[in-house]
Amino acid sequence: MEIVMAFVCGFLFMAAIYLILSKSLLRIIIGTGLLSHGAHLLILTMGSFKGSAPPVLSDGVTDYVDPLPQALILTAIVISFGVTAFFLVLAYRAYQEIKTDDMTLMKGSEDNE
């Protein structure tokens, strides 16, 4: 399963980067969303899926999965939510002010740098 998941992560990253490199702010933000999904799955995959029980203590179970990647991902999920929301508002405000969501047009010209 880990082998397959490695390819899935790679695929998610690929799609995310493709979107991030586009001109439209909207696509870029969607790309960052995909990127964080890919990163979360990557962390989980690298930690391996061994263990048969969730990392919650219960009687008679010793075969827990590794809790550390999960803790890291939990933090990452919430942070990525905050960052995505921030990007969204940034794009929204930028669009309100300069009426475009095209990265190349946003750059500005030589004299108003």
Bridge partners of 53, per DSSP, are 64
Question: Nearest distance from residue 53's CB to other proteins, in Å?
Answer: 7
Q: Which amino acid belongs to residue 113?
A: E
Instruction: For the beta carbon of residue 97, count every other beta carbon within 10 angstroms.
Output: 8
Between residues 75 and 111, which has the closer beta carbon with respect to other proteins?
75
Between residues 27 and 60, which has the closer beta carbon with respect to other proteins?
27
Between residues 1 and 60, which has the closer beta carbon with respect to other proteins?
1
Classify burial at 89, counting beta carbons within 10 Å of its beta carbon; exposed 0-12, middle 13-18, buried 19 or more: exposed
Question: Nearest distance from residue 51's CB to other proteins, in Å?
Answer: 7
Q: Which amino acid belongs to residue 55?
A: P
Question: Nearest distance from residue 5's CB to other proteins, in Å?
Answer: 7
Between residues 60 and 90, which has the closer beta carbon with respect to other proteins?
90
53, 97, 104, 106, 109 from 24: Cα distances, Å:
43, 16, 9, 10, 18
Question: Nearest distance from residue 10's CB to other proteins, in Å?
Answer: 3
